[in-house]
Amino acid sequence: MALPMLFFVAAMAVRTDQTPLRSGCDSDDGVVASLPAGTPVEVRFRLSDGSDCFKVAATIDGKDVLGYVPGSALTGLERYEQERSSAASVDVLRALNPVVTETKRAVAQTGDPALDRATRLLDANQPAQALEQVQAALGRHPRDPGVLVLAGLAAYRADQLRAALDYWKQALDIAPDERLQAIYERVKREADADHSGDKLYGVHVALRYEGEALPADTARAILATLDGDYSTIAVQLGCTSDERIVAIVQSREAYLRSTGAAEWSGGQYDGRIHIAWTDGSQIGPQMQRALAHELVHACLTSIPSGSTPWPAWLQEGLAQKLSGDTLPAAVREQLRQLAGTHAIPKLENLRQDWSRMSTQNAFAAYSLALAAADALYDNYASYGIRNILVNPETLPRITADLDAKLGL
């Protein structure tokens, strides 16, 4: 069921009358159109060069126009930044899931105990140790495509992209597979475009970042924030971190180029945390929420989910709630009204990948997920969120209960 286009485009509007929409960010760039006060705009992206310049789309006299305006000319920036930083994507991880499932079946048939240990280590979010086990087994299974795919998965999660590509290329040469080929092309694009070579190591997190785009002091502050937030999140959800979680921080342009993420995405978790950095040399509240958001995804990945992955609504709902996002009263009321007319789907239909949604539908899905997370905490506080995650077989019943509570 398609999600409705909610209130998000109208939330961003022109603040002052006759605001010039220019062909670029400089004051001497040509004027494309003059925007009346209150004109709704859709933000395409925000430049991360410190200019506080936005590329926006608007409609004037029935004609679509595209250009640049300063942030000071727009209303609704705070809500926009909250939505953008919350709009994390686990699309690559979900694309990998069917490949991972089939690979596990294939390597299980070998009866090799090292490969059994490797799959369990990978499930426990310990990819470096998993890779060691697979590499030990490769001598016994040098041309087994399943073993090569598993080696690539472990290398990828351990942030060894070139090794992952090499293993996957060998597997594809032996047994071509369209899904693995698509993943291979995506990771190759990332490896070619990613120039984040500087590294720092914390207790729970290994940070890789662009030294030219991010001062070393800022990188150290990011690492300290990630380490501290992970400790807090782990207590609430019950995850553990036997290996450091990889976090990659890039300029927004480099992030979009290397990940292929949607324009609305401010972060992504694919077994590693990716963050588009837009805060200059300081960690602002929006960026801190984005960092915590991705840590929740990393935490949930390390908790066994049973026969199926944790659903998208739970992943994104908990990620928003535990990173400090709140749902405005007006948004909550609109969700209630839409639920009353059956214009939004039930939670059970929000399990799938959200990465191909439009900006408006993505924000609608995130709002519904946050409302569900709020209801989860309100109704199951005595039972405990950790207990739910330890007992994933209870989630279908709880999901149906939350659907009823939300009027879906």
Alpha helices by DSSP H, 194-328: 216-237, 252-259, 285-301, 312-322
Q: What percent of the chain has pLDDT over 70?
A: 86
Could you read off the pLDDT of 99-123 as tens digits, one per residue? Answer: 777 888 888 888 899 999 999 898 8
Give the span between the Cα atoms of 67 and 58, in whole angstroms.
9
Ranges of CATH 1.25.40.10 domains, the chain: 91-193
Class of domain 8-75: mainly beta
Could you read off the pLDDT of 338-382 as tens digits, one per residue? Answer: 888 887 888 888 766 665 565 566 677 888 999 999 999 999 987
Residue 197 confidence (pLDDT): 83
3-state secondary structure of 153: helix
Could you read off the pLDDT of 36-66 as tens digits, one per residue? Answer: 999 988 776 666 555 678 888 889 988 989 8
Residue 313 confidence (pLDDT): 92
The CATH number for 91-193, chosen from 1.20.1250.20, 1.10.10.10, 1.25.40.10, 3.30.565.10, is 1.25.40.10
Could you read off the pLDDT of 214-261 as tens digits, one per residue? Answer: 889 999 999 999 999 999 999 999 998 788 999 999 888 788 777 777
3-state secondary structure of 43: strand
Ranges of CATH 2.30.30.40 domains, the chain: 8-75
Residue 339 phi/psi, 5-degree rounding, is: -65, -35
Q: Which of 50, 42, 46 is nearest to 66 (CA)?
A: 42
Give the span between the Cα atoms of 314 and 295, in whole angstroms.
14
Give the span between the Cα atoms of 252 and 308, in whole angstroms.
32
Q: What single letter denotes the amino acid at residue 143?
A: R
Beta-carbon-side half-sphere exposure of residue 199 (alpha carbons within 13 Å): 8
Give the span between the Cα atoms of 238 and 308, in whole angstroms.
19
Q: DSSP class of residue 7? A: S
- Start-to-end C-alpha separation, the chain: 13
Q: Is the pTM of this model over 0.75?
A: no
